[in-house]
Amino acid sequence: MIVSSNYQANTYNYSKALKNSNDAKEVSASRSDSYVAISQNGSNAVDRIHSIAARYDVNDISQKERVEMAGELMESGLISSGVGLHLVAPRGMNEKPNDRSDLLTGMKESLIVDNSPLNSEHMKNKLKAISILEELKSLRSR
């Protein structure tokens, strides 16, 4: 699918959490002579996204839950407010706060009718939103 090939590298934004932190701990990799440094902020971001994934099913989520999930992702620095707007936007004129929908599939299907240029800010944010939803789904199923 175009989404994964165009935005494969943008799974979720740990880089903000990993930047500017001098408090790193060493974690042994698969070989005894190889190490990966993960900052405390990075470790917290990993824990936070796992926690969010465990609580929200992106294939069966209400408007109210979308708002809560987007707020948590923004507070954690994992998404921008522009991406958050795509997550919380109503899916229809008559949507009620507790109506459930398949957010991930709906957003992917909306790409078919979206005429925005791929390099527009709108499309970049939409693709990032889809990417984070795919990551949350993946983490939830582990």
Tens digits of per-residue pLDDT, 52-90? Answer: 999 999 999 999 999 999 999 999 999 999 999 999 998
Q: Is residue 6, in this structure, part of any structural domain at all?
A: no
Q: Is residue 1 part of a domain?
A: no
Query: Is 128 within the bounds of a domain?
Result: yes
**Domain of 36?**
14-140
* 8: alpha, beta or left? (left if phi > 0; alpha if psi -120 to 50): alpha
Residue 99 lies in a domain: yes
Question: Is residue 134 included in any domain, yes or no?
Answer: yes
Helices assigned H by DSSP within 56-120: 63-75, 81-88, 103-113
Residue 18 lies in a domain: yes
For 6-57, the pLDDT digits (tens) are 333 333 333 333 333 333 444 434 445 677 777 777 778 888 999 999 999 9
CA distance 73 to 95: 23
Q: Which amino acid is at 120?
A: S
Would 9 be classed as within a structural domain?
no
**Is 8 domain-assigned?**
no
**Residue 141: per-residue pLDDT:** 87
Domains held by the chain: number:
1
The neighbouring-strand residues paired with 28 are: 35
Please, are residues 96 and 63 in contact by the beta-carbon 8 Å criterion? yes
Q: Is the pLDDT of residue 105 over 60?
A: yes
Given this model, what pLDDT does residue 29 score?
Answer: 42
Closest CA to 17 of 36, 37, 40, 35: 40
Residue 118 φ/ψ, nearest 5 degrees: -60, -30
